[in-house]
Amino acid sequence: MSKKEALTRAAAELLWERGYTGTSPAMILERAQAGQGSMYHHFSGKAELAVAAMTRMGDELRTGVEKALTAEGPALARVAAYLDLERAPLAGCRMGRLAQDHDVVADPELRAPAADFFTWLTARLSAVLADGVRTGELRPGVDPDAMASLITATVQGGYVLARVHQDPAEFHRAIDGAKQVLAQLTADADEDRPGHPGHR
């Protein structure tokens, strides 16, 4: 593995663990087993290395999400598969957490990889939901953009709650809430709607 590769990997890990402001070049070098020279040869500095790390992160995240969203089955099942993707609630979202960092938001180059990922994610979720509406699986009144935004926000917020309480269950409670309301979007939701005595 090239030093450049090792540096990008180490940077990605540390950005996840400590955020951008909380990560120093020295930490990255130590984890990557590299010297100062390697880093400043391949990158102009901390910011450029972080951009490379974030870009890689985005690619990995997209791959994982795409796998869940393109599976066989109804739209709602695919969205549920996305919600059930393996996650580490206590660690937080690799991308989302960086967006809370002042220095990341202040630098357009740093913000871009994160913004691109969330633009893609929300659009992708919206497309799946719109597909569900088109096939009649979901009620015609369902607003794909608003629901996609709600889902994305719930996941991000779930991470926040899990971290603040240091309890993964808080993440799953929020996800459960999302699943419960998603179940109400189906065209035949009346029957199994909680509280409505369905046929049993």
Partner DNA sequence: GTCTATAGTAGGATAGAC
Partner DNA sequence: GTCTATCCTACTATAGAC
Q: Are 18 and 53 in contact (CB under 8 A)?
A: no
36-55 residues in contact with DNA (CB under 7 A) are 36-38, 40-42, 44-47
Residues 6+ apart with CB under 8 A from 195: none
96-125 residues in contact with a second copy (CB under 8 A) are 96-97, 99-103, 105, 111, 114-115, 118-119, 122
Q: Which residues are bridge partners to 138 per DSSP?
A: 186
# residues contacting DNA (CB under 7 A): 22
- We find the least distance from the C-beta atom of residue 77 to DNA, in angstroms, to be 44
Nearest by Cα to 14 from 43, 57, 62: 57
Nearest by Cα to 76 from 181, 196, 146, 158: 181
- We find the least distance from the C-beta atom of residue 71 to a second copy, in angstroms, to be 23
End-to-end CA distance of the chain: 60
Residue 176 within binding range of a second copy, rule CB under 8 A: yes
**Of 42 and 139, CB closest to DNA:** 42
Distance CA 194, CA 165 (A): 29
Amino acid in position 125: L
Residue 6 within binding range of a second copy, rule CB under 8 A: no
Per CB under 8 A, residues contacting a second copy are: 17-19, 21-22, 92-93, 95-97, 99-103, 105, 111, 114-115, 118-119, 122, 139-143, 145-147, 149-158, 160-161, 163-166, 170, 173-174, 176-178, 180-181, 184, 187, 190, 193-196
